[in-house]
Amino acid sequence: MKVSELRDLSVEELQKKEQDMRKELFNLRFQQATGEIENPMRIRAIRKNIARALTLITERNKKNK
């Protein structure tokens, strides 16, 4: 997911998106542990997207204060 797509979302939507990505990351880690994962690079992409979302949430919270 691109940063420009995330910037269009509100803080609440970003938090919801982050929770969904964390659930997906959990499932991917579970698949990796059982040896069923098809694309191991997806874990890295999800982690980066979570970081992007958290960065935008932090930026917006600082801007609002």
pLDDT (tens digit, 9 = 90+) per residue, 2-56?
889 999 999 999 999 999 999 999 999 999 999 999 999 999 999 999 999 999 9
Give the SS3 label for residue 16: helix
- Distance of alpha carbon 22 from alpha carbon 64, whole angstroms: 26
What single-letter amino acid sits at 65?
A: K
Q: Give this prediction's pTM.
A: 0.90
> Nearest-CA neighbor of 65 among 15, 13, 11?
11
Q: Where are the domains of the chain?
A: 3-64
CATH of domain 3-64: 1.10.287.310
pLDDT of residue 64: 87
DSSP string, 4-19: HHHHTS-HHHHHHHHH
> Residue 1 above 80 pLDDT?
no
